[in-house]
Chain A
Amino acid sequence: MGLTAAAFVVILAVTGLILNHTETLKLDSRMIKSDVLLDWYRIAPPENPVSFSTGNSWISQLGQRLYFNGQEIADTTGKLIGAATLNDIIVIAVNDQILLTTLTGQLIERLGSADGVPAGMRAITSDDNDRLLILAAHGTYITDSDFIEWQERATTSTNWSKPSEIPAELYRQLVTAYRGSGLPMERVILDIHSGRILGPWGVYVMDAAAILFILLAAAGIWLWAKRNH
Chain B
Amino acid sequence: MRRFFIIIILCMMAQTAMARDVYQQPQAFINDVFNGNVPKPKMLWVTKELAPDIKEILGHELRVLRLRYWQRDGKSAWILEEIGKEQPITTGIVINDNRIEQVKVLIYRENRGMEVRYPFFTDQYKGATLHKNKQLDRNIDGISGATLSVRALTKLARLALYLHNHADGTP
Contact = CB atoms under 8 A, between A and B. Distances in A.
B72 interface: no
A114 B69 CA distance: 10
Interface string B65-92: 1111000000000010000000000000
A74 interface: yes
Which secondary structure dominates where chain B touches chain A? Answer: mixed
Nearest to B83: A75
A107 B41 contact: no
Contacts of B66: 108-109
Given A114-B79, A146-B43, A148-B41, A108 B65 contact: yes
Contacts of B29: 114
Which secondary structure dominates where chain A touches chain B? Answer: mixed
Interface residues of A, number: 15
A113 interface: yes
B26 A113 contact: yes
Contacts of B63: 74, 107
Interface in B1-43: 25-27, 29-30, 40-41, 43
Nearest to B29: A114
B41 A110 contact: no
Interface string B111-140: 000000000000000000000000000000
Given A114-B25, A148-B40, A107 B68 contact: no
A109 B81 CA distance: 13
A112 interface: yes
A107 B68 CA distance: 14
A127 interface: no
B41 A112 contact: no
A110 B90 CA distance: 13
A94 B130 CA distance: 35
Given A107-B63, A109-B68, A114 B40 contact: no
A74 B40 CA distance: 27
Contacts of A116: 27
Contact of B27 (A108, A114, A146): A114
Interface of A: 74, 102, 106-116, 146, 148
6 contacts: A109-B43, A112-B79, A114-B26, A114-B29, A116-B27, A148-B41
Which 6 pairs across A and B sit closest by C-beta, in order of nearness? A114-B26, A114-B27, A108-B65, A113-B27, A107-B64, A109-B66
